């Protein structure tokens, strides 16, 4: 075992652990439900587009919704059966909103699609082929973010990755699905890590695991071969929330800080979750898309908390009942952990790719404390792992000053909940930050729509003008063709003749103007007629007998100019 130097990230909390509740039994496969509800969007980015219709029969692993954008992920049937609807259903989301889902009535056979084919030796494939396999398998980050994994495996042209990190910290106090995966299936995690390393051409790999998971650490180290230990190291990190945050884990393992509004890729590091690595192994080595995942089902309101391998689309009620849940009207259901999770209002909501935990808690014995005014104690800033000023962010979010809130690095907030946890005024700080982020995203989306509408309008005007010009040109050519057929002279003007004619027209117009002035002389006064006569007489002398030298009498010139002006 090698000794790896560790650093410490700022802020953070030491929380009471409750992982042992769900780690008493081995991971079991969850029961097959009568219906599976598969949302078209289970990831960051654009939703997938359905490629099946009601009435179609599908097999396990069959593509049912295809990614139509770069930042998107495909969806596959998690069991065999018949598509009975494509409709709006409740999905796991803090807002409790509905979204389009594909509903499959299972047939109980759970038959795999025979077209699934392993890719063989991954070392014979180049990086692009591996990324396409991972993309087609619909794999996203299973730590909770849901970012399409193939994108993070693309360092870009000329990009160089020094370090690939697998995140096994799992810092939430109740969640244990990653710990059980590393403990029971360490080889899947390591094989997936090696595939991702090959795609990135990373020089070295670290697996970071918190020290409250000793069995997982032993299992991973025991699964490594002597050759693999040359480029893979399992590192034990102190248990401190939120050590599982990507930037925080990088700080602990390397001492490096990811700059604000930048990515780990910018400093030569890529970080993936251990469950994502296992999913990559299944996709590349076994040819299986992402159709299930290990989920922690825990909480004080369950008789037998445990970890289950759950098919994507399984309703919460099905897995909760398998763990001895007796629903009550005032129960609390939370997707995720108590720190970063969110409450759900229905047990009909389906498990999705980002569901790592379902927490069943009894109703609180007393009402939630009412938020009080901020007392400016500074505790929120002390525990913030991103070195932000939550107090300032709260004020600007509350007043909807979206420019100021961005100036204070709102998007560096990882929504860990440390600030809200220690706030003596019980202010729901994270909710304010989420609200501000949503407002900013909404404004940017509206701006993009407005810009697109303006561009479309301008393009339409250009198109109409071009069509008008084309129509006029066609009509001119048609008339020209008819004249030629009749032997008539063309109406197309000669540019030189047109220029000469324009000059003649200007001379003619000037002469007419002068004649008009002569014709109107009778309307002038005697003084004006006399002045004009003097000017005309002077012009005659200039034409017939020009002086040898120009006049130098300024008084005479001024008198003439004055008379001309009077005219």
DSSP code at position 47: P
Structure tokens at 490: 């063309």
Q: Give the Cα separation of 318 and 355 in Å (integer).
A: 14
Report H helices in 31-168. Answer: 127-136, 149-152
Residue extent(s) of CATH 3.40.50.11540 domains in the chain:
19-361
Distances (CA, A) of 256 to 7, 246, 268, 382, 559: 9, 12, 11, 20, 90
**Which of 255, 293, 275, 267 has the alpha carbon at shortest distance from 166?**
275
| CATH number for the segment(s) 19-361 | 3.40.50.11540
DSSP E strand stretches across 3-80: 28-29, 35-39, 49-50, 57-58, 63-66, 75-76
Q: Give the Cα separation of 147 and 149 in Å (integer).
A: 6
Q: What is the 3-state secondary structure (H, E, C) of 327-363?
A: CCCCCEEEECCCCCCEEECCCCCECCCCCCEEEEECC
DSSP code at position 33: P
**pTM of the model as a whole:** 0.79
Structure tokens at 552: 């130098």
Q: Give the Cα separation of 153 and 43 in Å (integer).
A: 16
Report H helices in 312-389. Answer: 316-322, 379-383
Q: Give the Cα separation of 205 and 140 in Å (integer).
A: 20
Structure tokens at 245: 């945050």
Q: Please work out, in degrees rounded to the nearest 5, the angle formed at the alpha carbon of residue 185 by the alpha carbons of 182 and 188.
A: 100
Asked whether the bond before 242 is cis by omega within 30 degrees of 0, the reply is: yes
Q: Give the Cα separation of 79 and 101 in Å (integer).
A: 15
Q: Give the Cα separation of 200 and 194 in Å (integer).
A: 10
pLDDT in tens, the chain (567 residues): 457 899 999 999 999 989 999 999 999 999 999 999 999 999 988 999 999 999 999 999 999 999 988 999 999 999 999 999 999 999 998 878 899 999 999 999 999 998 888 887 898 899 999 999 999 999 999 988 899 999 999 987 777 899 999 999 999 999 999 999 999 999 999 999 999 999 999 999 999 999 999 999 999 999 999 999 999 999 999 999 999 999 999 999 999 999 988 899 999 999 999 999 999 999 999 999 999 999 999 998 899 999 999 999 999 999 999 999 988 767 789 999 999 999 998 899 999 999 999 999 887 766 678 899 999 999 999 999 999 999 999 999 999 999 999 999 999 999 999 999 999 999 999 999 999 998 998 899 899 899 999 999 999 999 999 999 899 888 888 888 888 887 776 655 666 777 787 788 888 877 776 666 555 555 556 666 676 677 667 666 655 544 444 444 444 444 444 433 443
Q: What does residue 455 show for φ and ψ, rounded to 5 degrees?
A: -65, -40
Q: What does residue 44 show for φ and ψ, rounded to 5 degrees?
A: -75, 135
Q: Which residues partner with 63 through β-bridges? A: 76
Radius of gyration of the chain (CA): 39
């Amino acid at each position: 075992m090698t000794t790896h130097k560790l650093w410490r990230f700022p802020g953070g909390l030491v929380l009471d652990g409750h992982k042992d509740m769900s780690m008493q039994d081995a991971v079991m496969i969850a029961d097959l439900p009568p219906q599976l509800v598969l949302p078209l969007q289970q990831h960051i980015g654009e939703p997938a587009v359905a490629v099946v219709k009601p009435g179609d029969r599908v097999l396990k692993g069959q593509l049912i919704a295809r990614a139509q954008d770069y930042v998107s992920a495909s969806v596959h049937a998690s069991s065999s059966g018949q598509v009975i609807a494509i409709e709006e259903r409740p999905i796991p989301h803090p807002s409790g909103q509905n979204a389009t889902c594909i509903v499959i009535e299972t047939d109980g056979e759970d038959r795999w699609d025979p077209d699934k084919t392993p890719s063989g030796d991954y070392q014979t494939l180049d990086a692009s082929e591996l990324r396409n396999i991972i993309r087609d398998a619909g794999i996203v980050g299973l730590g909770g973010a849901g970012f399409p994994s193939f994108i993070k495996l693309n360092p870009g042209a000329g990009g160089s990755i020094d370090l690939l990190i697998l995140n096994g910290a799992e810092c939430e106090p109740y969640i244990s699905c990653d710990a059980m995966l590393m403990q029971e299936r360490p080889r899947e995690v390591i094989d997936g890590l090696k595939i991702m390393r090959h795609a990135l051409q990373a020089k070295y790999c670290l697996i970071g695991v918190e020290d409250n998971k000793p069995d997982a650490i032993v299992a991973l180290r025991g699964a490594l071969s002597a050759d693999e230990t040359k480029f893979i190291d399992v590192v034990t990190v102190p248990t401190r929330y939120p050590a599982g945050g990507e930037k925080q884990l990088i700080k602990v393992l390397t001492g490096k800080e990811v700059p604000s509004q930048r990515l780990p890729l910018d400093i030569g590091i890529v970080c993936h979750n251990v469950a994502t690595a296992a999913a990559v192994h299944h996709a590349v080595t076994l040819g299986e898309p992402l159709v299930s995942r290990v989920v922690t089902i825990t909480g004080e309101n369950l008789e037998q908390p445990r970890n289950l391998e759950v098919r994507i689309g399984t309703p919460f009620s099905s897995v909760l009942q398998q763990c001895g849940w007796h629903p009550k009207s005032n129960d609390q259901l939370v997707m995720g952990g108590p720190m970063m999770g969110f409450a759900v209002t229905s047990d009909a909501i389906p498990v999705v790719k980002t569901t790592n935990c379902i927490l069943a808690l009894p109703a609180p014995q007393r009402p939630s404390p009412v938020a009080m005014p901020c007392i400016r104690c500074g505790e929120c800033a002390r525990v913030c792992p991103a070195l932000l000023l939550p107090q300032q962010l709260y004020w600007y979010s509350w007043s909807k000053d979206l420019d100021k809130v961005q100036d204070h690095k709102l998007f560096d907030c990882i929504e860990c909940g440390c600030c809200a946890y220690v706030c003596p005024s019980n202010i729901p700080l994270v909710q304010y930050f989420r609200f501000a982020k949503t407002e900013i995203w909404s404004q940017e989306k509206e701006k993009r729509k407005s810009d697109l509408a303006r561009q479309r309008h301008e393009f339409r005007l250009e198109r109409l003008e071009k069509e008008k010009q084309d129509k006029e040109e066609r009509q001119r050519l048609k008339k020209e063709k008819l004249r030629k057929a009749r032997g008539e002279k063309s109406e197309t003007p000669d540019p030189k003749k047109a220029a000469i004619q324009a000059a003649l027209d200007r001379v003619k117009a000037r002469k007419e103007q002068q004649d008009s002035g002569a014709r109107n002389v009778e309307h002038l006064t005697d003084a004006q007629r006399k002045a004009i006569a003097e000017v005309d007489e002077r012009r005659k002398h200039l034409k017939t007998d020009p002086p040898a030298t120009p006049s130098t009498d300024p008084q005479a010139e001024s008198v003439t100019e004055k008379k001309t002006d009077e005219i």
